Amino acid sequence: MTHRTTLITGATQGMGRALALDLAPRGGTVLLHGRDRTRLEVVAAEAQAIAPDITIRTYVADLSDLDQVHAMAERIRTAEPHLDGLINNAVAGGGAEPLKRELSRQGHELRFAVNHLAPYALTRDLLPLLTASAPARVINVASIGQEAIDFDNVMLERDYEGLRAYCRSKLAMIMATFELAAELQDTEVTVNTLHPAHLMDTNGVRAYGLTPVTSTDEGVRPTVRLLLDPELATTTGRYFDQFTDVRAHEQAYDAEARERLMSLTHSLLG
């Protein structure tokens, strides 16, 4: 890790914070993203305290605003000489008021925006830096909770429920992972996705009213494996349930559905 630079989104709490504290002692440069500067600096200080010799830099952006996503990517491209790893970890969960439909800054359904549009936009904006740094790895933190996307009701203007929105957005993330991996097949930039652990002890899980059953450390281990394991150096376009390469929801393998999703995604991203 001595010369590696890794960006973690959603690093101020939950598994993002745990990832930061796990990667810090391994050396290199760790880039931390959050939407709250104060909380972000607290985590940066924690990581620096356990690994005084590493380099930590922070980037603030609200991923529910695509303008801020693009602006952050531009700042990273300008400031960072290379980028070897990107962990798209930030998430909007089911919500404390699951029947309250929320919108992003651009007017998209919030979970679709934060869990799919934002990480896809960030990854695509950072591709020049990732490809220049290759071999590089992109890890999209998805979920075993997946539900087929209804293309006549993508933004859930009908039958809205927060967990349903979350599950559809996570399937969208997985489908986009497969598409991007195929596109980057010959670039030495790999793109994989995983369900890190079941019902981790996070604010999002508790806010929805669920009872956590595992620690964030359970999710960190398989995520870091995808980032660093030399045996996975050429593995790309795969979905893992923790450490196991498994099949995602069947819609993820429907070529027509993936084409519709990516056409819509590119249209929404302009």
pLDDT tens-digit readout, 99-148: 999 999 999 999 999 999 999 999 999 999 999 999 999 999 999 999 99
- The whole-number pLDDT of residue 202 equals 73
More confidently predicted of 123 and 207? 123
**Residue 267 in 3-state DSSP?**
helix
pTM here is: 0.95
- The whole-number pLDDT of residue 208 equals 59
Residue 6 and residue 23 in contact, taking contact as beta carbons nearer than 8 Å: yes
Q: Is 270 exposed, middle or buried (0-12, 13-18, 19+ CB in 10 A)?
A: exposed
The answer on pLDDT for 33 being more than 90 is yes
- The whole-number pLDDT of residue 40 equals 98
Average pLDDT over residues 219-239: 97
The answer on pLDDT for 212 being more than 70 is no
- The whole-number pLDDT of residue 1 equals 54
Question: What 3 state SS string does 96-135 have?
Answer: CCCCCCCECCCCCEHHHHHHHHHHHHHHHHHHHHHHHCCC
Q: Is 111 exposed, middle or buried (0-12, 13-18, 19+ CB in 10 A)?
A: buried
Whose tokens are 């030399």? That residue is 230
- Sequence ranges of the domains in the chain: 5-269
For the domain made up of 5-269, give the CATH fold.
Rossmann fold (3.40.50)
Residue pLDDT, tens place only, 47-84: 999 999 999 999 999 999 999 999 999 999 999 999 99
Give how far Cα 250 sits from Cα of 48, 234, 246, Å. 43, 24, 11
Please tell me the distance from the alpha carbon of residue 90 to that of residue 268, in angstroms, as a whole number. Answer: 20
Please tell me the distance from the alpha carbon of residue 87 to that of residue 112, in angstroms, as a whole number. Answer: 18
- The whole-number pLDDT of residue 3 equals 77
The answer on pLDDT for 2 being more than 60 is no
- The whole-number pLDDT of residue 77 equals 98
Q: Which helix (H) or strand (E) holds 56?
A: strand 55-60
- The whole-number pLDDT of residue 217 equals 86
Residues with Cβ < 8 Å from 205, sequence gap 6 or more?
93, 199, 211, 212
The answer on pLDDT for 177 being more than 70 is yes
- Cross-strand pairs, 195: 241
pLDDT band at 198 (very low <50, low <70, confident <90, very high): confident
